[in-house]
Amino acid sequence: MSRWGQKDLLGLEYLTGEQIEHILLTADSFKEVSTRGVKKVPALRGKTVVNLFYEPSTRTRISFEIAAKRLSADVINIETETSSIRKGETLIDTGLNIQALKADIIVVRHNASGAAAMLARRVDISVINAGDGWHEHPTQALLDIFTIRQRLGRIQGLNISIVGDIAHSRVARSNIWGLTKLGARVTVCAPKMLIPPGIEKMGVRITDKIDNAIQEADAINVLRMQFERDKTTAFPKQLEYFKNFAVTEERLKRAKKDIIVMHPGPINRGIEISSEVADGCRSVILEQVTNGIAVRMAVLFLAWQGRRGL
């Protein structure tokens, strides 16, 4: 098994397939902890994890908090609305202060792409990227990959389709990096104005026909339509999007029998996915949430280990 040896997790672009595999294998082991009567191991006892979220989050923040607590770490949540950040303190100054308070790991979410990397360069403690702008959301992609592998037994050689607002999606970018490094064939599907230029250089196929994306797919990852991000007239209207791109039972009739349907949440029911599909037997959406804990436990554990240069 490869050594991890990194203090930070900033994105899947910067990891090798072997390192991604290492995280997934570690997560496999941590999954069992959440099934115990006492859901706790002492691996990070006495360590402090700070969740620094500049953007709203329910799932990711709670998932990181639960993961840290299952490793016996102390967790501090910084609400940017009620902190000195409102008085104009910069991200770097906040990070340096958290370090001066002798915390061990910062989990950061920020609306600026590259924020986590900038912070990681300035502090000695571990930094984990919980989503930075449109750039990456590595732990979401890791739990997506973990879920696919758990359900379908492998990643190598699978056809994975990512459908939705690719242009604004850090989840899509992290998934593409991770899946292609592990040997999957990735197709992105979206209206033309939501396909970022040059994305084919990441080794993906592109289509603007949902049926093409569904037909050969072993797994389909449905992204939330981020209507709040784009107000241009070219942006599709909700009804129009549902009609042309939503994943529905009708469309899944033409899919492989054992296709799995994923969604990073939060779901816009009736826009990118029908309720029938979201709640149906092909959906692994809640499994993704559960797997997020094991994956984040692994990431916290490995990042702290990596900080010690192991």
Partner 1 sequence: MKNNNTKIQVMDAQAVDNALKRMAHEIVERNQDASAIAIVGIRTRGEYLAERLSLALERITGNTLTRGVLDITLYRDDLMISDSQPVVRETDLSFDVSTKHIVLVDDVLYTGRTIRAALDAFIDFGRPKSIQLAILVDRGHRELPIRADYVGKNIPTSATQVVRVKLKEKDGVDEVCVFDGDLA
Residues lying near partner 1 in the complex (CB under 8 A)? 1, 3-5, 26, 28-32, 36-38, 40-43, 71, 298, 301, 305, 310
CB contact at 8 A, 64 and 33: no
Choice between 26 and 159, CB closer to partner 1: 26
Q: How near is the Cβ of 268 to partner 1 at its closest, in Å? A: 37
Q: How near is the Cβ of 29 to partner 1 at its closest, in Å? A: 4
Q: How near is the Cβ of 21 to partner 1 at its closest, in Å? A: 12
Q: How near is the Cβ of 4 to partner 1 at its closest, in Å? A: 6
Whole-Å CA distances, 249 to 5, 20, 57, 245: 45, 33, 29, 12
Question: Scanning the structure block, which residue is given the tokens 């702008």?
Answer: 133
Choice between 36 and 243, CB closer to partner 1: 36
Choice between 163 and 298, CB closer to partner 1: 298
Give exposure, 265-279, as e/b (b: 16+ Cβ within 10 Å).
Answer: bebbeebbbbeebbe
Biggest CA–CA distance in the chain, Å, is 57
Q: How near is the Cβ of 35 to partner 1 at its closest, in Å? A: 10
Choice between 28 and 230, CB closer to partner 1: 28
CB contact at 8 A, 71 and 39: no
Choice between 266 and 309, CB closer to partner 1: 309
Choice between 70 and 181, CB closer to partner 1: 70
Q: How near is the Cβ of 30 to partner 1 at its closest, in Å? A: 7
Q: How near is the Cβ of 124 to partner 1 at its closest, in Å? A: 17
Total length of the chain: 310
Choice between 17 and 203, CB closer to partner 1: 17
Closest CA to 14 of 136, 126, 109: 136
Cα–Cα distance measured from residue 21 to residue 14, given in angstroms and rounded to the nearest whole number:
14
Helices 17-31, 285-307: axis angle to 10 degrees equals 110
Q: How near is the Cβ of 291 to partner 1 at its closest, in Å? A: 15
158: CB partners within 8 A, 6+ apart: 148, 152, 184, 185, 218, 219
Q: How far, in whole angstroms, is CA 90 from its chain's centroid?
A: 25
Choice between 142 and 160, CB closer to partner 1: 142
Helices (H), the chain: 17-31, 59-70, 91-100, 115-122, 138-152, 170-181, 210-215, 238-245, 249-252, 275-278, 285-307
